[in-house]
Amino acid sequence: MTALSAELSAIAGAAFAAEGLSQSFGQVQRSDRPDLAQFQCNGALAAAKAAKTNPRAVAEKVAARLKVNPLFAKVEIAGPGFINLDLTDDALTARGVALAHDGNLGAPETGKGKAMVIDFGGPNVAKPMHVGHLRSSVIGDSLQRLFRANGWTVTSDIHLGDWGLQMGQLISEIEHRGIAPVYFDPDFTGEYPAQSPVSMEDLEEIYPAASAACKADPARLEEARKATAELQAGRRGYRALWQQFFNVSKVGLDREFSSLGIHFDMWKGEASVDAITVPMVEDLKARQIAVESEGALVIPVERNSDKKEMPPLILVKSDGAVLYGTTDLATIVDRVKEQNPDLILYVVDQRQHLHFEQVFRAAEKAGIAGKATLEHAGFGTMNGTDGKPFKTRVGGVMKLFDLIAMVTAEAKKRLTEQGIGEDYSAEERADIARKVGIATLKFADLSNYRLTDYIFDLERFSKFEGKTGPYLQYAAVRIQSILRRAAEQGFAPGDPATHSPEERTLFLQLLALPDAMTAAEKGRAPNILCDYAFTLAQNYSRFYSEHHILSESDAALRAARLGLSALTLAVLTKVLSLLGIEVPERM
RNA sequence: GGACCCGUAGCUCAGUUGGAUAGAGCAGCUGCCUUCUAAGCAGCAGGUCGCAGGUUCGAAUCCUGCCGGGUUCGCCA
């Protein structure tokens, strides 16, 4: 179905066109002044500026044409030339009913016929996920849900960090410790053991130790570099050991992402493109796109128009190892071959912006991106209450697993305090606490614009009051409860209708869903969806406190309000699902 | 030092194709639970939008300079 804003814009656009002005001036949007009108059109101001005429006169002419349309209850000109519009309740009701009967709830089809690959999460093999991975995962997941809902064919890829220096550091640390000598015996030709020589817990201890050793001792760093290069060159024992790291890590990552309700279509990573890296590098060398510089093989990407220094992308280090820029390029080749997307979106920390600019320029120069637009959707840092990157009380990196446990415990505490759910099963209580805890985390993260750093204050978010995930779940749960009770009493929801100011406001917000989805896609900005959902829940709460539904004696009015409640629930649940937030049956 | 980002209410944040009286949550103060879940609702109070200029009928938004904070600048990811 056509979005209401689009319908109104077309009507106003036609009015401008009839006056010999560009149709584009007809853009209609929700009013900034709800006390004055439901919608506004500011096009007369821009049109008058372009034509160097009086804006008020332009507005008068356009308004005269709009006034004859029975859709409008009010057409007014205000201030320098704003056109203020109100719809009749009948027009509003008709569109609300259409929305209620639309299976997609008016979702825009901006991505119809288009394919994209979205790259997010990016956890490292052999390292537990920490809060730093939260933003990429949560924002990326919301974007993949949004783009899919808007009609795109989406392929998500976790893009594991599994091929760089950190692998060499692990390998050389394990060699030092003498944990699994068979993997280091160059003469060994038999089968390596099926059982991993290290557990995930071992790796969590070994990795920081290896990293520290390399930092403290240049000789150790050199060993790690050598091991990295040998791994990439295909040394058999190292490859086998790498496979064990991967297997062990996958179990933990699966657990983490499933607890967050995040799904990836592909579990590829840097190592996945190993086989196509060498041919790609050879090809780039042959075509003189890659050249030698200071012992390394690089792709120069600077341009004359650059105002800043643009270092070349390094493909192969002087020691023969490849870097993540190389694997990123090879991954583009792989994605173009497999998915041939229109868009590849990278949801990665903003601090890597320069890196992506280098990679994108290199890809363009090499002509390997097919029809795909390459775009980096960066995000800011999650900080603690001191404004510095989030740490535990003792100053360590907080594991994502522990963070989820903390918010879940807070939710459970609140349930107990409220005395709600005393008669629920232990399983349901745990399920509610989990859903509320995850909602707290995700909403806190998503409601900030992605590029700005934000402060994560567990204490504040755990209050579950005001603009929080649980507030939205609570609003949905209350509607579910009403609908359940209505069903018990034999009251069936009817078509929604507009009578009161509270209903009118709610209708307007419900009908604005496509605008929120379009704007969120355009800005790759889930915070727009958060704002929309919060306002919707607020609008409903007001309606809820103003009209007691089940005790309404007028059966038709009661049915209409049940219908409006059901529609609100459907829209709210849908937006929450776009944010990756689940609604419990009750809470 | 160069480039990029940020500076909005006591706190945390929305708000840029330039538009009407700059919004929300928290904290503070007032009310509202013998009717559908008070994790709620209604209201009050709180800001020279970092500073100074400029463009414009109109600037939190665009331009210039300055102050303050952050990120980044070839062999880590």
Tokens 């008020």 sit on residue: A56
CA distance A132 to A16: 50
CA distance A161 to A269: 6
Determine the distance between A5 (CA) and B16 (C1') in angstroms.
21
Determine the distance between A308 (CA) and B77 (C1') in angstroms.
23
In this structure, the number of other CB atoms found within 10 A of the CB of residue A347 comes to 28
pLDDT of residue A289: 96
ipTM: 0.96
**Nucleic strand B within 7 A of Cβ A562:** no
Superfamily of domain A400-578: Isoleucyl-tRNA Synthetase; Domain 1 (1.10.730.10)
Q: What beta strand segments (E) does A242-323 contain?
A: 291-293, 296-299, 313-316
Tokens 């009507």 sit on residue: A11
Q: What beta strand segments (E) does A398-545 contain?
A: 454-455
Fold of A4-87: Gyrase A; domain 2 (3.30.1360)
**Nucleic strand B within 7 A of Cβ A466:** yes
Say if residues A316 and A296 touch (Cβ distance below 8 Å).
yes
Amino acid at A370: G
Q: Which of residues 181-220 of A touch strand B (CB under 7 A)?
A: none
pLDDT of residue A511: 96
pLDDT of residue A399: 86
Determine the distance between A49 (CA) and B54 (C1') in angstroms.
21
**Nucleic strand B within 7 A of Cβ A299:** no
Domain boundaries, chain A: 4-87, 165-260, 400-578
Task: Report residue A488 as tokens.
Answer: 């018990």
Q: Which of A262, A258, A257, A246 is closest to A124 using CA atoms?
A: A246
Do A4-87 and A400-578 agree at the fold level? no
- Which of the nucleotides lies closest to A420 (Cα–C1')? B37
**Nucleic strand B within 7 A of Cβ A23:** no
pLDDT of residue A54: 86
Determine the distance between A304 (CA) and B64 (C1') in angstroms.
25
CA distance A11 to A27: 9
**Nucleic strand B within 7 A of Cβ A471:** yes
Q: Which of residues 24-63 of A touch strand B (CB under 7 A)?
A: 27, 31-33, 35-37, 40, 42, 45-46, 49, 55
Determine the distance between A304 (CA) and B67 (C1') in angstroms.
33
Task: Report residue A441 as tokens.
Answer: 């985390």
What torsion, rounded to 10 degrees, do the Cα atoms A109, A115, A120, A124 define?
Answer: 160
Q: Which of residues 477-496 of A touch strand B (CB under 7 A)?
A: 477-478, 481-482, 485
pLDDT of residue A131: 81
pLDDT of residue A397: 78
Burial grade of A38 (CB within 10 A; 0-12, 13-18, 19 or more):
buried
Tens-digit pLDDT string for chain A (587 aa):
899 999 999 999 999 999 999 999 999 999 988 989 999 999 999 898 888 788 899 999 999 999 999 999 999 999 889 999 999 999 999 999 999 999 999 999 999 999 999 999 999 998 888 887 899 999 999 999 999 999 999 999 999 999 989 999 999 999 999 999 999 999 999 999 999 999 999 998 999 899 889 988 899 999 999 999 999 999 999 999 999 999 999 999 999 999 999 999 999 999 999 999 999 999 999 999 999 999 999 999 988 777 777 899 999 999 899 999 999 999 999 999 999 999 999 999 999 999 999 999 999 999 999 999 999 999 998 888 777 777 777 777 788 888 899 899 999 988 888 777 778 899 999 999 999 999 999 999 999 999 888 888 877 777 889 999 999 999 999 999 999 999 999 999 999 999 999 999 999 999 999 999 999 999 999 999 999 999 999 999 999 999 999 999 999 999 999 999 999 999 999 999 999 999 999 99
Q: Which of residues 402-461 of A touch strand B (CB under 7 A)?
A: 411, 414-415, 418, 420, 432, 436, 447-449, 451-455, 457, 460
**Nucleic strand B within 7 A of Cβ A297:** no
Determine the distance between A383 (CA) and B46 (C1') in angstroms.
27
Which strands, in side-by-side order, build the sheet including A39-41? A28-30, A39-41, A82-87, A72-78
pLDDT of residue A388: 77
**For strand B, which nucleotides have at least one atom less than 7 Å from a protein CB?**
2-6, 12-15, 17, 19-21, 24-27, 35-42, 57-58, 70-77
Q: Determine the Cα angle at A144 with ends A164 and A411, to 5°.
A: 95
- Which of the nucleotides lies closest to A353 (Cα–C1')? B72
Q: Determine the Cα angle at A164 with ends A191 and A227, to 5°.
A: 55
**Nucleic strand B within 7 A of Cβ A168:** no
**Nucleic strand B within 7 A of Cβ A552:** no
Task: Report residue A57 as tokens.
Answer: 């006169």
Q: Which of residues 251-270 of A touch strand B (CB under 7 A)?
A: 270
